Homo-oligomer: A and B are copies of this chain.
Amino acid sequence: MPPTANAGTMPSPTHLVRPLRIGMIGAGTVGGGVYEIVMNRLGGGSSSSTTTRTTPTPIITKICVRDASKPRNFHVDPARTKIVTDISSVINDPEIDLVVEVAGGVTFAKDAVYASIRGGKSVVTANKALIAENMDELIALLGEANANNRGGVRFGYEASVCGGIPVIHALQSCYAGDVINEVMGICNGTTNYMLGKMETGAEYDDVLREAQDLGFAEADPSADVEGYDVRAKIAILAKLAFGVAVPVDSIPCMGITNVSVVDFAYAKSMGCTIKLVGTAVRKSRFGEYDGALSVYVSPKLVPDDHLLASATGCGNAVAINSANLGLASYAGPGAGRYPTANSIVSDVMRVANGTCHAVPFPLSRSSVDEIDNDYDSAFYIRISFQDGLGIVRTIGELAESQGVSIHSILQQPITDRMAADTVVTTESCKLSQVKALCELIGREEFALSTPVFMPMIPEY
């Protein structure tokens, strides 16, 4: 092992002359990682372990669990850390400066987080659902707590989106003089793993079973494959990038359950792959991003040389398009014990050394005038049909009736006249237009099902 970790060596703010005392709620996979890093690598409160004497070292003094007798996959040092089962002994402990919440859920965890903030404690959490559903409330709560506590209450949530990728911190800290036009995130490792396998020819059902066997996917995989996990995350990123708390259940959300191996074949013929992407984008006209904000989740056709295409396996990536930078991207592990724990520990150390942002979402509502989730895009439409006369004419007529302009028609040679498919790509149109078109096509006699559609990321 290398001799020291990258412990921050910042002078401590005056309110933290002693070690930073942490109460941790939850002791699962991520909690174990946090405990190991804080207590072993960062010294766990020992003053001799740090590189300069001015560093406040973090120490986890209490861990609150449901069942104290349950075996854990990490060693808790009883001389330094007390295991408790009563949450009030953490949130009411005046010695605890900061609460790390890694229990998950939106009921018990929410109460604990709110009570901690109200009590003047800083909070670091990985709980995306809790944040996505309560952004404005959390901001108000933190504002009050800071007014009552002379500004010392911080809220870190780097681990809530894209596990180990510091995208939240980047959005808080690296765009102060910029204007963001678009945020696109591959924020779910499970579905990215599945889509990667499907790209090499594996069928959806087989890949899902494999992901479940590997422990990547839950027995009920709907949070991942239906896109709900990404939806919560893109809501958080949209708030950071545009200052708007878009209600989670208003966000159009399409998962990967309709994506098929044949879609990858068509995508490949267009120089693309398929990724599940959460998008928050301002509507643009003539290259100016000056319209309403659209937030949505959908599988997307991504050009092979796009920065987002480089997220392989369980990896995550976020691409941000802004006025000053053009396209920038952040890629790395999206989940897992140590990546997620690393983001939590980074937040803890930012609280310790005084560089944690006082306001968790730097933008106020004013950066966007309007939300319109009926987003604009070029679309890919795959139509499964029973071969017959007049199909292309009918599709053309239906597209015209919905005001959808067809950009290209791709059709592999038909080998089975009873179950063929063709792909139509459109010029930019609205989600509602392409949806209506697909429903109309699906009602035609030749259609075997309602067509599958996906937005397409344009070439650079």
Which residues from chain A sit less than 8 Å from chain B, CB to CB?
1-11, 33, 37-38, 41-42, 51-52, 146, 151, 158, 164-166, 169-170, 173-180, 241, 243, 282, 289-290, 305, 307, 309-310, 312, 322-333, 338-339, 341-343, 345-346, 348-350, 353-359, 362-364, 366-369
Contact = CB atoms under 8 A, between A and B. Distances in A.
Contact of A345 (B176, B333, B342, B346): B176
A282 B1 CA distance: 11
A290 B346 contact: no
B349 A177 contact: yes
A173 B346 contact: yes
Given A6-B363, A174-B346, A176-B346, 15 more contacts: A1-B179, A2-B368, A5-B179, A6-B176, A6-B178, A6-B241, A7-B176, A8-B359, A10-B357, A10-B362, A11-B358, A37-B324, A166-B174, A329-B330, A353-B358
Given A177-B38, A179-B41, A325 B339 contact: yes
Nearest to A349: B176
A104 to B, nearest CB: 20
Contacts of A38: 177
A328 B331 CA distance: 6
A358 B177 contact: no
A52 B364 contact: yes
Pairs of residues from A and B, 4 with the lowest C-beta to C-beta distance, nearest first: A328-B332, A177-B345, A176-B349, A324-B342
Nearest to A361: B9
Number of copies: 2
Contacts of A175: 6, 342, 346
A178 B355 contact: no
B164 A366 contact: no
Contacts of A41: 177, 179
B177 A366 contact: no
Given A353-B358, A355-B355, A328 B165 contact: yes
A441 to B, nearest CB: 36
Contacts of A169: 170, 173-174
B325 A164 contact: yes
Contacts of A158: 174
A6 B177 contact: yes
A362 B8 contact: yes
A33 B339 CA distance: 36
A78 B371 CA distance: 40
A185 to B, nearest CB: 15
A338 B323 contact: yes
Which of A7, A158, A343 has the most chain B CB atoms inside 10 A of its CB?
A: A7
A326 B333 contact: yes
Contacts of A307: 310, 331
Contact of A326 (B289, B339, B348, B362): B339
A307 B349 CA distance: 28
Nearest to A241: B6
A164 B357 contact: no
A175 B332 CA distance: 13
B346 A8 contact: no
A262 B4 CA distance: 44
A350 B164 contact: no
A158 B305 CA distance: 27
